[in-house]
């Protein structure tokens, strides 16, 4: 029986993780929950699973008496310290997930990582701490889970190329000259996945793929020139790995995040779960198209960021979080998001980071710089 803590429990990843745990009470016991501010929902979850340790970073609404809830920016990390889980599912959105991820690996827990920003922002620190404390990072993103599965049993020196698939988002076929007129409502209408607001907009700009390219470098110990993105509108092939003999392994499945979450929770085993299955009884067409990097410059920005991997990915992510929120609130146009991210990165080219605390400060300064530009 594995003890599990779920961070970001009221979001889409968190709810899916709880659904998997609910299906297999013989394998998992939930010992901790943390979220941003949804008091009502997290207390419902705690009651349903009998969880006694709950954390909320920014509670929205009163907390009923008789319920112990840890509050504040460090609530998620404190939940981990008190609950001592075997597995931590980190589904927190944004850079605020980095320090809880660092706490999880320092405890030696298995980190089931959906918070890609943890590796984008602080990949060097997180991977070093995981190695030092015997922690394993098992990716939950469908793309990285696919690569992780394809690499199982394979020598890393035989890897020639990692190919991450992208749905292409809702604007794959939309003319670039019309991007300035895209509304938040249009950007939030993803054709395949149902996700949080920021990641949905990032999927529309392909910034999400840029972040995933950086994440793949840290997860699998490869250089950026070994990571490619291909547009695959059907979202059936979740990613591929090419090896030195030119053979390619791919992981396929229906677009259901519970599959990747279940694999991360049960690794190195597999769970028997009542999830939907891919059928080959009907015709199935799979398309693969090269991304248009002029139309979607976020991929080029991500490659540029990895020229200074300890600094620029952190700035890139911080600026993107601010820019996406500015777009959603009507302060900037859709086609200004990536341009503002790049402009912010240019401001921090000489910055140096040597500790996690300095990384947190860099994140703060990058946000402040872009907010100043917006003002």
Rounded Cα–Cα distance for residues 190 and 200 (Å): 6
Q: Same domain for 95 and 155? A: no
Give residue 211's pLDDT.
96
- Gap between the Cα atoms of 152 and 130, Å rounded: 19
Same structural domain, 38 and 159: no
| Structural domain ending residue among the three candidates 299, 329, 359 | 299
Q: Is the pLDDT of residue 319 over 90?
A: yes
Is there a single domain that holds both residue 42 and residue 86? yes
Q: What is the 3-state secondary structure (H, E, C) of the chain?
A: CEEEEEECCCCHHHHHHHHHHHHCCCCEEEEEEEECCCHHHHHHHHHHHCCCCEEECCCCCCCCCCCCEEECCCHHHHHHHHHCCCEEEECCCCHHHHHHHHHHHHCCCEEEECCCHHHHHHHHHHHHHHHHCCCCEEECCHHHHHHHHHCCCCCHHHEEEEEEEECCCCCCCCCHHHHHHCCHHHHCCCCCCCCCHHHHHHHHHCHHHHHHHHHHHHHHCCCHHHEEEEECCCCCEEEEEEECCCCEEEEECCCCHHHHHHHHHHCCCCCCCCCCCCCCCCCCCCCCECCCCCCCCHHHHHHHHCCCCCCHHHHHHHHHHHHHHHHHCCCCCHHHHHHHHHHHHHCCCCCCCCCHHHHHHHHHHHHHHHHHHHC
Rounded Cα–Cα distance for residues 32 and 53 (Å): 5
CATH number for the domain spanning 362: value is 1.10.1740.10
Mean residue pLDDT across the chain: 94
Record the pTM: 0.93
Is 83 a member of any domain? yes
* pLDDT for 43: 93
Q: How far is it, in rounded angstroms, from Cα 304 to Cα 59?
A: 38
Work out the pLDDT band at 191, boundaries 50, 70, 90: low
Answer with the one of 299, 332, 364 that is the final residue of a domain. 299
Q: Are residues 28 and 86 in the same domain?
A: yes
Residues 115 and 39 in one domain: yes
Residue 133 sits in the same domain as residue 149: no
Tell whether 104 is covered by a domain. Answer: yes
> Rounded to an integer, what distance in angstroms lies between the CA atom of residue 219 and that of residue 40?
35
Q: Band the pLDDT of 239: cuts 50, 70, 90.
A: very high
pLDDT at residue 193, as a whole number: 62
Give the pairing of strands 69-71 and 28-35: unpaired
Q: Which among 69, 104, 139 is the end of a domain?
A: 139
Name the band, by pLDDT with cuts 50, 70 and 90, for residue 315.
very high
Q: Are residues 132 and 6 in the same domain?
A: yes
Rounded to whole angstroms, what are the CA distances from 337 to 74, 243, 302?
Answer: 29, 36, 14
What pLDDT does residue 169 have? 86
Burial class of residue 273 in the structure, from the number of CB atoms within 10 Å of its CB (0-12 exposed, 13-18 middle, 19+ buried): middle
Identify whether 272 is part of a domain.
no
Q: In this structure, how many other beta carbons lie within 10 angstroms of the beta carbon of residue 187?
A: 23
* CATH number of the structural domain spanning residue 87: 3.40.50.720
Q: pLDDT tens, 140-156?
A: 999 999 999 999 999 99
Boundaries of domain holding 369: 308-375
Sequence-separated (6 or more) residues with CB below 8 Å from residue 128: none
pLDDT of residue 134: 97
- Domains in the chain, number: 3
Same domain for 126 and 163? no
Strands 28-35 and 110-113: unpaired
* pLDDT tens string 94-109: 899 999 999 999 999 9
The answer to whether residues 156 and 106 belong to one domain is no
Asked whether residue 295 carries a pLDDT value surpassing 70, the answer given is: yes
């Amino acid at each position: 029986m594995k003890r599990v803590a779920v961070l970001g429990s009221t979001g889409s990843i968190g709810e899916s993780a709880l659904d998997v745990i609910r299906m297999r009470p013989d394998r998992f016991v939930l010992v901790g929950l943390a979220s941003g501010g949804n008091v009502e929902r997290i207390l419902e979850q705690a009651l349903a699973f009998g969880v006694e340790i709950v954390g909320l970073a920014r509670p929205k609404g009163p907390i009923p008496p008789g319920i112990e809830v840890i509050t504040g920016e460090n609530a998620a990390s404190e939940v981990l310290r008190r609950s001592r889980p075997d597995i931590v599912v980190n589904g927190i959105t944004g850079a605020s997930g980095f320090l809880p991820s660092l706490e999880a690996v320092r405890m030696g827990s298995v980190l089931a990582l959906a918070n890609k920003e943890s590796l984008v922002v602080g990949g060097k620190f997180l991977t070093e701490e995981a190695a030092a404390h015997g922690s394993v990072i098992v990716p939950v993103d469908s793309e990285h889970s696919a690569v992780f599965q394809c690499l199982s049993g394979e020598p890393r020196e035989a890897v020639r190329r990692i190919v991450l698939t992208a749905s292409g988002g809702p604007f794959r076929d939309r003319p670039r000259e019309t991007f300035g007129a895209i509304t938040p409502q249009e950007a939030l209408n993803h054709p395949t996945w149902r996700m949080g607001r920021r990641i949905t907009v990032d999927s529309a700009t392909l910034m999400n793929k840029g972040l995933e390219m950086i994440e793949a470098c840290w997860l699998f110990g490869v250089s950026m020139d070994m990571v490619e993105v291909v547009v695959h509108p059907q979202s059936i092939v979740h990613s591929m790995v090419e090896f030195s003999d030119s053979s390619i392994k791919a992981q396929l499945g229906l677009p259901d995040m519970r599959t990747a979450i279940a694999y991360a929770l049960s690794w190195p085993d597999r769970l028997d779960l009542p999830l939907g299955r891919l059928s080959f009884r009907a015709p199935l067409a799979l398309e693969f198209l090269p991304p248009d990097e002029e139309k979607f410059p976020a991929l080029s920005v991500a490659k540029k960021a990895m020229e200074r991997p300890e600094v620029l990915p952190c700035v890139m992510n911080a600026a993107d979080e601010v820019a996406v929120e500015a777009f959603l609130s009507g302060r900037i146009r859709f086609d200004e998001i990536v341009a503002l991210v790049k402009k912010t990165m240019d401001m921090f080219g000489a910055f140096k980071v040597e500790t996690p605390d300095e990384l947190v400060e860099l994140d703060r300064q990058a946000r402040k710089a872009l907010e100043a530009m917006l003002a």
